[in-house]
Chains A and B, each alone.
Chain A
Amino acid sequence: MLRLAGALLLTAGAAGVGLCAAGQLEERVKSLRSLVAGLEILGRELAFRRAAMPELMERTACQTEEPARYLFAYCREHLEELGEQTFGAIWAQAAEEEPGLLLAQEERAVLAELGEVLGRYDADDQIAALGRTVDALRVCLTRAQEERRRLGRVYTALGVGSGAMLAILLL
């Protein structure tokens, strides 16, 4: 009886690890998707309203899904710190601090580059920079979707399979 319970726990644990790894891939896709959508909203707000940065960040945060919402909400909240640090630094910090964004180094670099343009140039230049960032992140999103498709099943199968194998060995 004890062996059976142990085998079941092992199977569940290993399957859980596999599913978790596959889930991470899924979360990363969701994160990049929300980020791309958020940046597109920011671009539209900039193009049509040309509002000041606090309003831009607030409006974008309200219309964006998690986890990307955090990026805009963080910037809005920390705009009072201008003078202590630049907007670019606040933006980069937001991208660094939210673990839920699951961004790779390359994606963080793309975002940091955008932060150095936002609020500093005229609206057209900022919209162009947003467009370039969205394009770059779309490439990352496609790659992440491909990884999820390719590795998601592998991780799940590996997890469940290795759990089952351990259970057989134990029994």
Chain B
Amino acid sequence: MLSTMIVPIREEAAERFSQAASLLPKGLRQGAERLSRSDKARAEELRLRIGRLPTVTLPEGEIPLATDGGQPVTSEDLRLTLEIATQASAHAVLDRVREGYVTVRGGHRVGLCGSAVCENGVIRTIGTLSSLAIRIAKEVPGVAEGIRPLLKEAGAVGGTVILAPPGGGKTTLLRDLIRRISDGIEGPPLRVGVADERGELAAMFHGTPMNDLGAHTDVLDGCPKAEALTLLLRAMTPQVLAADEVASAEDAAALEEASGCGTALLCTAHAVNPQDLLRRPLFQRLVCRGVLTQAVVLTGRGGTRRWRLAGLEGDGLC
């Protein structure tokens, strides 16, 4: 099954770009503000690197943005951007800074790079910043249209993993799929528990999700995925559990635990295709144990992305 999803150029996408651009200090904002509305809607990231002009990442690549007097980005600009992004609350997001990113109002993610300060072999914080990448959150209702009826177990999802390389649209697709399952689109409404560790799916702000995840969705954000999945299972009795970017052994163990409780699973992982995914022992085990049974494989970038459904079988691995 191969289907094409057209990511529409929408006013809302341009608004989200402007919201992300407002994280930039005043002197760096003008180039981003001067972009055409269509480019704003297509933009995926804003990048700042010390000594270089800021850039915007479009589907065709990075293009430089003008600044006041053509000044390149300074370390003070990076510090200011982080101060804006955290609302001058480094202490409240330090655990996320240690992970290398901060999720801000609107669900945008600010990736951090620089010199890490370590204590006893553990990253305490990122001391001197050298570059930042602001990933623009995208909510595209309708991108997951047609997927749910094709999933195994009569639309009850089963164990499904969405695959794509970084920046391939996994989170956007997962978000819409959650909304459709929760709202009863293309199937009965189901209770969905979302383990939103990085806050990108729901973009919770003061207890309210900034993104629409449906009427029957419970979100636990800011908590390590493995613990969140267990807590959700225990406290909210979800019919479907969803988590973005499964990567650690703890995440996999929690998924395995949840699958034995009759809860359907939805997650995402970095991989180009099922073969790529099954090179990782973590996923070999999940597939062999029947935790993950199918994959939605995303290909392409930007305006037109395609998805196809593939079965996951651990032949020769289990």
Considering residues A51, A82, A83, which has the most beta carbons from chain B within 10 angstroms of its beta carbon? A83
Quick check: B91 and A86 within 8 Å, CB to CB?
Answer: no
Which residues in chain B, 9-26, are within 8 Å of chain A measured between CB atoms? Answer: 22-26
Size of the A side of the interface (Cβ < 8 Å), in residues, is: 20
Residues of A contacting B124 in the complex (Cβ-Cβ under 8 angstroms): 122
Known A87-B83, A120-B83: A82·B91 in contact at CB below 8 Å: no
Question: Nearest residue in A to B82 (C-beta to C-beta)?
Answer: A120
Quick check: A119 and B94 within 8 Å, CB to CB?
Answer: no
Quick check: B84 and A53 within 8 Å, CB to CB?
Answer: no
- Answer yes or no: B230 CB below 8 A from chain A CBs: no
Residues of A contacting B83 in the complex (Cβ-Cβ under 8 angstroms): 82, 86-87, 119-120
Question: Nearest residue in A to B29 (C-beta to C-beta)?
Answer: A83
- Answer yes or no: A50 CB below 8 A from chain B CBs: yes
Quick check: B86 and A119 within 8 Å, CB to CB?
Answer: yes
In whole angstroms, what is the CA distance A137 to B306 when docked? 64
Candidates A79, A83, A120; contact of B90 at CB < 8 Å: A120
In whole angstroms, what is the CA distance A52 to B29 when docked? 25
Digitize A70-92: 1 where CB-to-B-CB distance is under 8 Å, 0 elsewhere.
Answer: 00000000010011101100000
Candidates A54, A84, A87, A121; contact of B91 at CB < 8 Å: A121
Quick check: A87 and B88 within 8 Å, CB to CB?
Answer: yes
Quick check: A82 and B92 within 8 Å, CB to CB?
Answer: no
Quick check: B84 and A83 within 8 Å, CB to CB?
Answer: yes
Quick check: B88 and A79 within 8 Å, CB to CB?
Answer: yes
Minimum Cβ distance to chain B for residue A112 (Å) = 15
In whole angstroms, what is the CA distance A149 to B94 when docked? 46
Which residues in chain A, 84-116, are within 8 Å of chain B measured between CB atoms? Answer: 84, 86-87
Residues of A contacting B22 in the complex (Cβ-Cβ under 8 angstroms): 83
Quick check: B94 and A82 within 8 Å, CB to CB?
Answer: no
Candidates A51, A86, A87, A120; contact of B92 at CB < 8 Å: A51
Quick check: A120 and B94 within 8 Å, CB to CB?
Answer: no
- Answer yes or no: A64 CB below 8 A from chain B CBs: no
Quick check: B26 and A83 within 8 Å, CB to CB?
Answer: yes
In whole angstroms, what is the CA distance A126 to B25 when docked? 24
- Answer yes or no: B304 CB below 8 A from chain A CBs: no
Residues of A contacting B29 in the complex (Cβ-Cβ under 8 angstroms): 83
- Answer yes or no: A12 CB below 8 A from chain B CBs: no
Quick check: B89 and A53 within 8 Å, CB to CB?
Answer: yes
Minimum Cβ distance to chain A for residue B312 (Å) = 41
Quick check: A54 and B87 within 8 Å, CB to CB?
Answer: yes
